[in-house]
């Protein structure tokens, strides 16, 4: 009943301040949410969005300010009280147990797994998944689900606990465009049923599509609050960064020598993900090679081969015209291949290591060790150089990396990759989860590396990014690689047909 929208205030955050040592992550933030409303919370990486939501949910205690849910004050630092009051949080990083079923995950923490009849719980979950359009099988093992399905489980879990306020922290950062659309359909159903949503995203087109109102944070403060229908993407971006901003576009350039060549490579299928099918690809100096396609079409298998995590079982890989004898991440790095991995949490970093340790992970370590002894002073200086050069906002190199905001973590990984002056850069979804300013920065760094003569392999689901940066574009679909298309020779619509797999048959016959 959208007619009721705007009536009842369901949530009120009043002048919340939170400090971490010298850093003020939230500075007098006030926010209200009404019944049936979607409020988007926007702001640069490190602006304080997740911190604010963690205070609301009781993970952190605010230094000042208060929270009210349905008119009742919420006791600080008490997630159970937040849950009981009807607040449900879907975290930026999922918290499900992979070895349990969907049903058990949903019940976990709410009730002992054997306490209530399984049938009652199952019925409720089935009803919720119908009502909210959250298709997922109650008996499936969570570990086998796709990212989009896991997210549905997280939302079901919140709904199962009778949440009336849903907090979604960057829910679409890990979704394909189709999955995002399905999520929005669910959110529309939820608000239609009188639930209220706080939606955090860096993707402004999504915010424009789903939110009624936007609240913008900068350096921990609210700098703007606007009705979505009274604004546009450019105005929101300007509010976020405090000025005009445009994304870099790479100008065309002549390519140099082939630095890496992959020829006739095939890999086995892995579960639902297709393996590579006779893929041949050349990465040339001074060129950005864009790889477009929906995630899960073989990009991961290709990235593993380029980055040294796997050797092609079938087909060949050569660097500067020679086949490497050993092929490991350390060896790849030693030969000038740097990686910006797709999943910065699991492949790019170790959460409980500090920034120095993360800066010298994997092959980087050997640069700072001698006869088995680590030179920690040099490692620390290396980390400090990255922190300074790449504007990684953090207390210092001894901070554990898991305390960094997503964007700042990515800047550290980018800085680490660039610091060795690589010949070949594997950039896998390099701007995922980054704010508009950080995106412009990362992309300009990739262009600068190309202009220095590096070969860049840019893997991205974002066609605008691929078309804006790539000198040559290939499309991956079902493990197959399209021919390369030079800059400006293809429209987004044509690339879309390749992404959908419709063009491959013709090309193979030719």
Ligand X SMILES: Nc1ncnc2c1ncn2[C@@H]1O[C@H](COP(=O)(O)OP(=O)(O)OP(=O)(O)O)[C@@H](O)[C@H]1O
407 binds, among ligand X, Mg ion, none (CB under 5 to 8 A by kind): ligand X
Pairing of strands 258-266, 279-284: antiparallel
| DSSP SS3 for 201 | coil
In sequence order, the 6+-apart residues with CB closer than 8 A to the CB of 129 are: 135, 136, 152, 156
In the region spanning residues 307 to 366, those forming contacts with ligand X, defined by CB under 6 A, are: none
CB count in 10 Å sphere of residue 20: 13
Q: Where are the beta strands (DSSP E) in 467-507?
A: 472-477, 480-481, 485-486
Which of 11, 35, 50, 460 forms a contact with ligand X (CB under 6 A)? Answer: 50
User: Using CB under 5 A, which residues numbered 348 to 407 contact Mg ion?
Assistant: none
- Closest separation in Å from C-beta 480 to ligand X: 35
Which of Mg ion, ligand X, none does residue 129 bind (CB under 5 to 8 Å by kind)?
Answer: none
171 binds, among ligand X, Mg ion, none (CB under 5 to 8 A by kind): none
CB of 171 to Mg ion, least distance (A): 12
Three-state DSSP class for 480? strand
445 binds, among ligand X, Mg ion, none (CB under 5 to 8 A by kind): none
Which of these segments, 17-25, 128-136, 297-305, 325-333, binds ligand X (CB under 6 A)?
17-25
CA-to-CA distance for 360 and 376, rounded, in angstroms? 10
Site for ligand X in 256-275 (CB under 6 A): none
51 binds ligand X (CB under 6 A): yes
Residue 223 binds ligand X, judged by CB under 6 A:
no
**141: β partners:** 101
418: helix, coil or strand? helix
Residue nearer to Mg ion on the CB measure, 43 or 298: 43
Backbone angles phi, psi at 5, to 5 degrees: -55, 135
Considering only residues 341, 397, 406, 422, which one is a binding residue for ligand X as defined by CB under 6 A? 406
- 48 touches, from Mg ion, ligand X, none (C-beta below 5 to 8 Å by class): ligand X
Site for ligand X in 284-303 (CB under 6 A): none
Of residues 457, 451, 390, the one with CA closest to residue 418: 390
Between the CA of residue 89 and those of 138, 159, 200, 210, what are the distances in Å? 20, 10, 12, 18
Q: Is 48 in the site for ligand X (CB under 6 A)?
A: yes
Q: Within 10 Å of residue 353's Cβ, how many Cβ atoms?
A: 15
**Of 45 and 295, which has the nearer Cβ to ligand X?**
45
- The smaller minimum CB distance to ligand X, of residues 405 and 445, is found at 405
Instruction: State yes or no: residue 403 binds ligand X (CB under 6 A).
Output: yes
Shortest distance (Å) from residue 23 CB to ligand X: 6
Our CB check for ligand X shows the closer of 211 and 291 to be: 211
| C-beta nearest to Mg ion: residue | 50
Quote the CA–CA distance of 289 and 303 in Å, as a whole number.
Answer: 13
Residue 307 binding result from Mg ion, ligand X, none, given CB thresholds of 5 to 8 Å by partner type:
none
State yes or no: residue 47 binds ligand X (CB under 6 A). Answer: yes
| C-alpha count within 13 angstroms, C-beta hemisphere, residue 221 | 5
Interface residue with ligand X among 40, 90, 222, 404 (CB under 6 A) is 404
Of the pair 259, 434, the CB lying nearest Mg ion is at 434
201 binds ligand X (CB under 6 A): no
CB nearer ligand X, residue 191 or residue 408:
408
Per CB under 6 A, 413 contacts ligand X: no
Which residue reads 């997210």 in tokens? 151
Positive or negative: CA dihedral 440, 446, 449, 451:
negative
Quick one: which segment of 185-193, 292-300, 332-340, 399-407 binds ligand X (CB under 6 A)?
399-407
First to last CA, the chain: 56
Question: Residue 167 or 455: which CB sits closer to Mg ion?
Answer: 167
3-state secondary structure of 20: strand
Rounded least distance, CB 50 to Mg ion, Å? 3
Buried b (16+ CB within 10 A) or exposed e, 163-190: bbbbbbbbbbbbbbeebbebbbebbbeb
Give the one residue of 91, 311, 345, 393 binding ligand X; rule: CB under 6 A: 393
Q: Does 46 bind ligand X (CB under 6 A)?
A: yes
Shortest spacing between CB 432 and Mg ion, in angstroms: 13
Q: Which of 10, 31, 36, 49 binds ligand X (CB under 6 A)?
A: 49
Binding window for ligand X (CB under 6 A); candidates: 44-52, 106-114, 308-316, 374-382:
44-52
Indicate whether 172 belongs to the interface with Mg ion (CB under 5 A): no
- CB count in 10 Å sphere of residue 355: 28
Considering the complex, state which of residue 231 and residue 405 has its C-beta at the smaller distance from ligand X.
405
Give the nearer residue to ligand X in terms of CB position, either 391 or 451. 391
Least gap, CB of 487 to ligand X (angstroms): 31
Least Cα distance to 470 among 452, 453, 484 occurs for 484
The 3-state DSSP composition of the chain as helix, strand, coil percent (nearest 5) reads 35, 25, 40
State which of residues 29, 35, 50, 327 lies at the interface with Mg ion (CB under 5 A). Answer: 50
Looking at residue 75, the DSSP 8-state letter turns out to be P
Is residue 33 within 8 A of residue 10, CB to CB? The reply is: yes
Region of residue 477 (phi > 0: left; psi between -120 and 50: alpha; otherwise: beta): beta
Q: Which residue has the tokens 């419709």?
A: 502
- Contacting residues toward Mg ion, per CB under 5 A: 50
- Contacting residues toward ligand X, per CB under 6 A: 20, 23, 25, 43, 45-51, 393-394, 403-407
């Amino acid at each position: 009943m959208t007619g009721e929208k705007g009536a009842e205030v369901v949530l009120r955050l009043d002048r919340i301040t939170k400090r971490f040592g010298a850093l003020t992550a939230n500075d007098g933030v006030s926010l209200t949410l009404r019944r049936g409303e979607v409020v988007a919370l926007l702001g640069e990486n490190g602006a304080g969005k997740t911190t604010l939501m963690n205070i609301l949910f009781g993970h952190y205690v605010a230094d000042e300010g208060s929270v009210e849910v349905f008119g009742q004050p919420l006791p600080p630092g008490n997630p159970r009280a937040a849950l009981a009051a009807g607040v449900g949080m879907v975290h930026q990083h999922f918290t499900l147990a992979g070895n349990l079923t969907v049903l058990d995950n949903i019940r976990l923490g709410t009730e002992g797994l054997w306490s209530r009849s399984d049938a009652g719980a199952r019925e409720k979950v089935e009803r919720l998944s119908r009502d909210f359009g959250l298709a997922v099988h109650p008996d499936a093992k969570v570990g086998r689900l796709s990212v989009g399905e896991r997210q549905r489980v997280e939302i079901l879990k919140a709904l199962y606990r009778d949440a009336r306020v849903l907090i979604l922290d960057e829910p679409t950062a890990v979704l394909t465009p189709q999955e995002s659309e399905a999520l929005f359909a669910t959110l529309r159903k939820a608000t239609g049923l009188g639930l209220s949503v706080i939606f955090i995203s860096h993707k402004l087109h999504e915010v424009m599509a789903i939110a009624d109102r936007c609240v913008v944070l900068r350096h921990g403060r609210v700098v703007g609050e606007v009705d979505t229908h009274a604004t546009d993407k450019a105005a929101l971006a300007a509010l976020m960064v405090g000025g005009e901003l445009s994304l870099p576009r790479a100008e065309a350039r002549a390519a140099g020598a082939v630095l890496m060549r992959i020829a006739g490579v095939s890999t086995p299928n892995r579960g639902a993900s297709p393996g590579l099918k006779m893929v041949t690809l050349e990465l040339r100096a001074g060129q950005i090679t864009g790889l477009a396609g929906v995630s899960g079409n073989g990009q991961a298998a290709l990235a593993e081969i380029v980055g040294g995590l796997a050797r092609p079982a079938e087909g060949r890989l050569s660097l500067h015209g020679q086949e490497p004898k050993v092929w490991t991440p350390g060896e790849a790095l030693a030969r000038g291949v740097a990686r910006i991995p797709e999943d910065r949490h699991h492949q790019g970093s170790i959460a409980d290591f500090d920034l120095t340790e993360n800066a010298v992970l994997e092959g980087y370590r050997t640069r700072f060790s001698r006869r088995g002894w680590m030179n920690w002073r040099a490692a620390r200086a290396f980390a400090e150089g990255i922190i300074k050069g790449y504007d990684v906002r953090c207390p210092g190199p001894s901070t554990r990396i898991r305390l960094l905001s997503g964007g700042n973590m990515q800047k550290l990984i980018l800085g680490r990759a660039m610091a060795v002056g690589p010949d070949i850069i594997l950039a896998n979804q390099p701007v995922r989860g980054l704010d508009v300013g950080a995106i412009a920065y990362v992309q300009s760094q990739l262009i600068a590396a190309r202009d220095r003569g590096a070969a860049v392999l840019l893997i991205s689901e974002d066609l605008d990014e691929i078309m804006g940066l790539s000198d040559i574009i290939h499309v991956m679909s079902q493990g197959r690689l399209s021919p390369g298309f030079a800059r400006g020779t293809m429209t987004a619509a044509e690339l879309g047909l390749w992404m959908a797999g419709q063009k491959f048959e013709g090309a193979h016959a030719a």
